[in-house]
Amino acid sequence: MSRKWISFPLREGDCSRQAHCDFPEGTYEREMGREGFFGPTAHLHHKHPPTGWIDWQGPLRPHAFDFNDIASERDCPLEAPLTLHNAEMKLRVWKTHGAMRHLVRNADGDDLLFIHEGAGEFFCDFGHLSYRDGDYLVIPRGTAWRIEAREPTFMLLIESSDGAYQLPDKGLLGPQAIFDPAVLEHPRLDEAFKAQQDESTWQLRIKRRNQVSTVTYPYNPLDVVGWHGDNCVVRLNWRDIRPLMSHRYHLPPSAHTTFVANGFVVCTFTPRPVESDPGALKVPFYHNNDDYDEVLFYHRGNFFSRDNIEQGMVTLHPCGFPHGPHPKALQKSLENPATFVEEVAVMIDTRRALEIDPAAAQVDVPEYVNSWRAPGLT
């Protein structure tokens, strides 16, 4: 049985009795946490917003990137521009339309596709399934696949280079919490899959050590007639996620974890009610990234804690400084809080520092660092 010995945090000065609620008057809470919200924490109460800087020099800084402006239209996903990466995770962005006339296989890692826009058909070793906006497709390393886009498609490709994607341990909540595994879909050997099998010449492009090799067959290698096992492509749509909520406490991002990989996690923020308890914080709390870099891809809706962020944009908050709601969002939460959040976003928290690749650097929004530079709250 899961259990934990009773322990008490240290206390000093004027502080709240509990995290994220009922702050001492005129203070701003900042969480210093380890291991991405899973480790030890301290909650400090400041006289001023922890993001109230007026100048910033040097390479460490928050970033915003407009992925809409990346020239990512390609016929092959293996050529999709690399935007951010480290040893365990590579983030690419890909736009395509029409039908792929070749297959691809990633021998460097497992891929997680997030469909930002578009719809179509996905064919792989395991069969066929349709995709739409908001779908995650988990593709195990070594799977051959291709798509036929019925609508122009814009997606993220998140490569796990050091292991497979798994589901988070839901602990006391039980296995049906957040989403019931019963909603997961796998490809089918249906008529659409059988219809695409032919004796024409097909290329299979394989990525290994970031180099692409091409193998040509005199037939379509997606010629499976049956299979069994539990290592296969899986589909999940954000609309099937039922987020954890507390009306009295603002839950940390870790409560929205969707997939876990070696060295990083993928979380999904979906529409949800805002905390209703008068003393509860109603926007994300100020916090340090003391062990993890945080990436957020904004899919759709009203991004209530951000200013001037649109669909298809990405923010990067590297380890080493506090961040949290923008001043206008915090002010609104104090004066006229919303009752419901209409947003969908994908968060990637990485244990190792991320490198910014040229495709992202070219669409960097340099003024993002100054978006917190607003008059102090009273």
Question: Does the annotation list 287 as a binding residue?
Answer: yes
Residue 40, pLDDT > 90, answer no
Lookup: tokens for 75: 């016929």
Write the CATH number of the domain with boundaries 74-238: 2.60.120.10
60-83: pLDDT as tens digits? 999 999 999 999 999 999 999 999
Confidence at 374, pLDDT banded by 50, 70, 90: low
How does strand 286-288 pair with strand 28-33? parallel
Average pLDDT, stretch 332-348? 87
* pLDDT on residue 378: 38
SS (H, E, C) 106-170: ECCCEEEEEEEEEEEEEEECCEEEEECCCEEEEECCCCEEEEEEEEEEEEEEEEECCCCCECCCC
pTM: 0.93
Domain 74-238 in the same topology as domain 28-64+243-372: yes
Q: What is the dihedral of CA 269, 270, 271, 276, to 10 degrees?
A: -40
* pLDDT on residue 348: 98
Q: Where are the domains of the chain?
A: 28-64+243-372, 74-238
Amino acid at 304: F
Question: Does the annotation list 75 as a binding residue?
Answer: no
Contacts of 25 (CB under 8 A, 6+ apart): none
Active site residue 250: yes
Three-state DSSP class for 213?
strand
> What is the helix (H) or strand (E) element at residue 195, kind and residue range?
helix 191-195
The CATH H-level superfamily of 28-64+243-372 is Jelly Rolls (2.60.120.10)
**Which of 27-31, 73-77, 84-88, 372-376 has the lowest average pLDDT?**
372-376
Residue 377, pLDDT > 60, answer no
Spatial separation of the C-alpha atoms in residues 257 and 166, rounded to whole Å: 11
Question: Does the annotation list 323 as a binding residue?
Answer: yes
Average pLDDT, stretch 308-325? 91
Spatial separation of the C-alpha atoms in residues 348 and 108, rounded to whole Å: 19
More confident residue, 326 or 142: 142
Among residues 250, 299, 317, 326, which one is catalytic?
250
Residue 161 near residue 112, CB atoms below 8 Å: no
Residue 70 near residue 81, CB atoms below 8 Å: yes
